[in-house]
Copies of this chain bind each other. A is one copy, B any other.
Amino acid sequence: MIQHDHGLGWVRPVRLTTPSLSDNSADMDRLLRALSGAGPRPVAGFPLLQKVSRSLRQWDFAARCVLFDDGSGLRLLDILDPQGESRALGVAVDLGTTRIVMRLVDLERKEVLSETVMDNPQIAVGSDILTRIHHGSTPEGMDALKRVVGEAVDNGMETLCLQAGLSSDAIYAVIISGNTAMTHLFMGLPAGHIIREPYIPVTNIPGTLKADLFLTHTNPEGRIFFFPNIGSYFGGDLISGILYSGIHRGEEISLLVDVGTNAEVVLGNADWLVACAGAAGPALEGGVSSMGMTAGAAVIDRVSISGDDFTVGTIDDLPPVGMCGSGFIDLAAVLFLTRMIDPKGKLVEAACGNRYTEEHGLPAIVVVAADASGTGEAITVSQASLDSLIRSKAAMYTILETIVMKVGVGFGDLEKIYVAGTFGAYIDPESAISIGMIPDLDRSRYEKIGNSSLEGATLVLYGDRYIPEANAIRDRITYVELNVDQDFMIRFSGAKFIPHTEPELFPTVVAAMAKG
């Protein structure tokens, strides 16, 4: 379990000395001095100047102060009745290319009040980033992209507040964790140079801005913070994930892997951090196997075998209509351990028995018969899909091997491997190890950390140490390009076998095969 130290919370009670002839500091200065202690003086906005004198006298020179980091220092956003019921809220946003996940947080109690998920409405323009950026190359296109996503987040905030029975006027902080392109499109910033050599974003460190530049359902003094990015291909969502994983704080070396369309990998400890992003291959995201499915209701996410029968688990336990990545990896592991595929991933007709079939003249295997399927047709996986999965798993393993080699350590030196991302949440490490996608280490070293982008954004709402920490992570990371050179290709070729051309790298898989 990851341990976090929030630092000071954003809502802090103060009790001031009462003004007198011998202590005649101005009201605001008295308040800011009490908040800053020996540190730098927080900044206060104009609306607060207008009400501070009356409020302090009304509350007998005590208050609950709502603060937020302003990029260059602490800003006092509001003061609340020390005895009152009024709340101070924050919203964490995982701004994904596909999905947006949002949480409402009580800044004072440091607890999640509600959560909501929606599609990123920019999907209507295009499911991929490139299409959206092209669409945003005209001012009208950019306005539309910015508007739809802003409205979606705004609606999300309304939903969250309705669920919690609270007013959105109490939202003082919104934390956006998204990749570099999504963050730019949310802000309405020109993103054309992100996808054109030499791949230059408008900003690496958007920092903190007024929330009402982008959103309507916040307090008028509310702030919005964007996680910083390292460049066009290493975004704030990953910085947020690192923050949550805590690998940047450990003495031992740990690894964080976030698997989506790309596999982003970060390796390091309190002394150093090395990151790379590489194409893990399309097979790891549902939608690329012949089923064409991302994780969702009635999609197979678990496959096991008992006797001769595949047992499939589906999301929401509905009759299966397709298969997503984690199900696909489970299936490949089952096929390999039962020798229905060979070490090259090729279907072995004799071993498959009556599951063996052909589609368009190519081998395929029936996973669910037509009578058990939710569609009325058999759910099959083709040799082409299996080939694609083998390439993906080989890429994944080679990336992990390469980054570990680059810093001169071995997999055995890793204290923990944190697996993040939607994909990471579903994957069964046992299956992934069986096919040689991830190293054969003690299973206790693997820890799933779920939506680390959302978790990191939530942390920022819990205390004042996380924004400086996120910026420090950004500054500390050494980003390495994965050169696909001859050495890489040799390692990749070795990894294209199941589990590997050097089976001694996977002792538990070898043992399982021997037992089977």
Binding site for B on A (CB under 8 A): 19-21, 24-29, 40-41, 43, 45-46, 49-50, 52-54, 70-73, 187-190, 193, 197-207, 209-210, 213, 229, 231-232
Contacts and interface: CB of A to CB of B under 8 A. Distances in A.
B50 A198 contact: no
Contact of A24 (B28, B189, B199): B199
Contact of A200 (B19, B71, B189): B19
Given A29-B205, A46-B209, A49-B206, A24 B200 contact: yes
Given A190-B53, A190-B54, A209-B46, A200 B72 contact: no
Contact of A201 (B27, B193, B197): B27
**Copies of the polypeptide in the assembly:** 2
B24 A198 contact: yes
Contact of A202 (B26, B229, B232): B26
Contacts of A25: 200, 204
B203 A29 contact: yes
B72 A28 contact: no
Given A28-B203, A46-B209, A187-B49, A21 B72 contact: no
16 contacts: A19-B198, A19-B200, A21-B197, A21-B198, A24-B198, A26-B205, A27-B200, A28-B204, A41-B205, A46-B210, A46-B213, A49-B203, A53-B200, A70-B72, A72-B73, A73-B73
Contacts of A72: 40-41, 43, 70, 72-73
Contacts of A70: 72
A194 B109 CA distance: 38
Q: Interface of chain A, helix or strand or loop or mixed?
A: loop
Contacts of A71: 43
Given A24-B231, A71-B43, A72-B70, A49 B202 contact: yes
B27 A203 contact: yes
Contacts of A231: 24, 26
**Nearest 10 CB-CB pairs, A to B?**
A26-B201, A26-B204, A28-B203, A72-B73, A29-B204, A21-B198, A19-B200, A26-B203, A72-B72, A53-B202
A210 B205 CA distance: 22
Pick from A19, A72, A193 the residue with the most CB of B within 10 Å: A72
Contacts of A206: 49
A82 B450 CA distance: 49
Given A43-B71, A73-B72, A198 B26 contact: no
A200 B50 contact: no
A467 to B, nearest CB: 14
Nearest to A187: B49
Nearest to A190: B53
A229 B27 CA distance: 13
A349 B214 CA distance: 81
A167 B49 CA distance: 31
Contact of A28 (B26, B49, B52, B202): B202
A49 B73 CA distance: 20
Contacts of A20: 198
A77 to B, nearest CB: 14
A40 B70 CA distance: 14
Nearest to A71: B43
Given A27-B202, A46-B187, 16 more contacts: A19-B200, A20-B198, A21-B198, A21-B199, A24-B199, A24-B232, A26-B231, A27-B193, A27-B200, A28-B202, A41-B72, A41-B205, A43-B72, A45-B209, A50-B188, A53-B189
